[in-house]
Amino acid sequence: MTSTPFIEPDLDFIAEIKSGAGPDLKKCYQCATCSVACTISHDDHPFPRKEMIHASWGLKDRLIANPDIWLCYNCGDCSTLCPRDARPGDVLGTLRKMSIREYSKPAVMNGLLNDPRKLPWLFVIPAVIILATGLLTGLMNLSPGGEQIVFARFFPVSLIEMIFIPLSVAVALVFFLGIKRFLKDMQDTYARLGKVDPGPIDVKAFLATLVRQLPAIVRHEQFSTCSENKGRKLSHMMVAFSFSSLAFVAGAFVFALYVLNSHGPYDQVNPVKILANISGLALITGSLMLIRERRANARQAGGKQGSGYFDWYLLGLALSLGITGMLTQFLRLADIPWAAYSMYFIHLLFAFNLVAFLPYTKLAHLVYRTVAVAYYHYVKEN
Ligand code: SF4
Ligand code: SF4
C-alpha cells in the first residue's frame, strides 16, 4: 500500500505571520483578486494568491526562501481590494522580515533588534564599546580644548577606523554567509515548486543578471506601477539617495585626509560639504515623509499597510541620524563646545547602530531583495 503525502503545517509559522500581518490570514478564500490587482504579478507567474494559501497552511519551506516574496514592494493595492481583509501585502512583508531573520545570524542579534524592550541596549552596547576603545587606547580626548571646535581632536579618525572597519568586515561576513544559504535555499524552493532543475548556479551569469537589474532596483521602478502608495517612491528615493551620498561624502573626507593630507573642519561652501548638507536634509525630509505616510495608512479604516517595530526602528534611526548630524554641525557653527562634542558622540551611537545592526534591520532588504530579484530573473533567462 502506498502512503499518501500529507501536509504538515508549521503552527508557529502561522502564528508568527498572524502576529505580523493581522489575525485574518485564514479568512482568505482564494478569490485571486489580489493577484489580479497586483500590477507586477504576471500571468505566467501570479502572486500573492498562492502565497496566501501556502501561508495559511504553514508551508514555511515554500515561502521563507521563495524569491517571489521579494518581488512585492508592499504598495498595499492587494490589501485594499481584498474582500476578506486578509492583508496579503502585509503577509508578504511579514514573510520578508522572517526571511531576513532566518539568514542573518547569530540569532541573538535578531532577538536584540526585534524586541522594543531591548532598545536601550542598542545604545548602551555602542556607548560601552566606543568609550572603552577610546579611553583604553588613549585616543579619545574628553577635553579637546583649542580655539576652534575640531571633532578629530575629541575623537580622531584613527579611532573611528579602529571601531568601524572591524564592524564593517563582520557585517560583510554575516551577509556573505546569509546570502550563500539564501541562494541555495531559493534554488531548493524553486526546484520543489518545479521551476528549476537543481544544479550549481552559474556564478558569472548570475552576477551579470544582478548587474543588469541594479538600475531598475535603484530607480525604484516597481513603485511606479503600484497605485495606492505611488507617493512612497519619492520618500524612499530621498532616503536611499541620502544614505548613498553620505557614504560617498565619508569616503571623500577619508580621501582628503590620507591622500591630500587635508584636515577638517571644511568651509560651508566646499562642494563635498554642500552635498553632505543636502543629503542630511534629504534624509530628514524623506524619513519624515515616510513616517507621515505610515501613520496615515495606520489611521485609515482597517489600515491598508501595517507597521511594526521592525519598520519604526529603521525610520527612527534614519531620522535620528539626520537630525543629530545636522545639530552637530549647527552647534559647532554656534561655537558651543560641550554641546557640539556631546551631540557628535550621540551621532556616533546612531552611526554604530546603522553599521553594526545592518544585517538585522529592515535595511537588509537592500541586500536580500537585490539578490532575490536577480535570482528570479536569472531563472527566467536560463
Ligand atoms: S488574499 Fe484576499 S484577495 Fe487574495 S485570494 Fe485571498 S481573499 Fe482573495
Ligand atoms: S503589496 Fe503591491 S506589490 Fe505587493 S503583492 Fe500586493 S499589490 Fe503586489
Q: What is the pLDDT of residues 210-262, one digit of tens each?
A: 999 888 877 766 666 666 666 677 888 899 889 889 989 888 888 888 888 87
- Element holding 216 (H helix, E strand): helix 203-218
Q: Tell me the C-alpha distance between 112 and 120, whole Å.
A: 10
C-beta of 70 in contact with ligand 2 (< 6 A):
no
For residue 188, tell me if it sits in a domain: yes
Nearest alpha-carbon partner for 311 in 64, 6, 20, 17? 20
H helices of 266-308, in order, are 271-299
Q: Tell me, what amino acid is at 78? A: C
326-364: pLDDT as tens digits:
999 999 999 999 999 999 999 999 999 999 999 999 999
Dihedrals phi, psi of 303, to nearest 5 degrees: 55, 105
Q: Which three cell numbers stand for residue 226?
A: 503600484
- Residue 301 has a pLDDT of 46
Residues 218 and 120 in one domain: yes
- Residue 305 has a pLDDT of 64
Residues 185 and 93 in one domain: no
Residues 240 and 171 in one domain: yes
Q: What is the residue with the minimal CA distance to atom 3 of ligand 2? A: 72
As for how many domains the chain has, the answer is 2
For residue 4, tell me if it sits in a domain: no
CA of 79 to the centre of ligand 1 (A): 8
State the residue range of the domain holding 355. Answer: 107-381
For residue 141, tell me if it sits in a domain: yes
Q: What is the pTM of this model?
A: 0.87
For residue 50, tell me if it sits in a domain: yes
Judged by DSSP in three states, 45 sits in strand
Of 86, 102, 118, the residue that ends a domain is: 102
For residue 2, tell me if it sits in a domain: no
For residue 1, tell me if it sits in a domain: no
Residues 229 and 122 in one domain: yes
Residues 55 and 15 in one domain: yes
For residue 361, tell me if it sits in a domain: yes
Residues 28 and 60 in one domain: yes
For residue 6, tell me if it sits in a domain: no
- Residue 107 has a pLDDT of 92
Q: What's the angle, vertex CA 214, arms to CA 208 and CA 219, rounded to 5? A: 160
CA of 306 to the centre of ligand 2 (A): 13
Residues 208 and 354 in one domain: yes
DSSP summary character for residue 301? T
The answer to whether 42 and 222 have CB atoms below 8 angstroms apart is: no
Residues 266 and 127 in one domain: yes
Q: Tell me the C-alpha distance between 163 and 168, whole Å.
A: 9
Dihedrals phi, psi of 276, to nearest 5 degrees: -60, -40
Residues 353 and 259 in one domain: yes
C-beta of 34 in contact with ligand 1 (< 6 A):
yes
Q: Which three cell numbers stand for residue 37?
A: 490587482
C-beta of 86 in contact with ligand 1 (< 6 A):
yes
Q: What is the residue with the minimal CA distance to atom 6 of ligand 1? A: 28
Residues 124 and 86 in one domain: no
Give pLDDT < 70 ranges for the chain.
1-6, 198, 220-231, 299-306
Residues 98 and 120 in one domain: no
C-beta of 178 in contact with ligand 2 (< 6 A):
no
C-beta of 322 in contact with ligand 2 (< 6 A):
no
Residues 213 and 92 in one domain: no
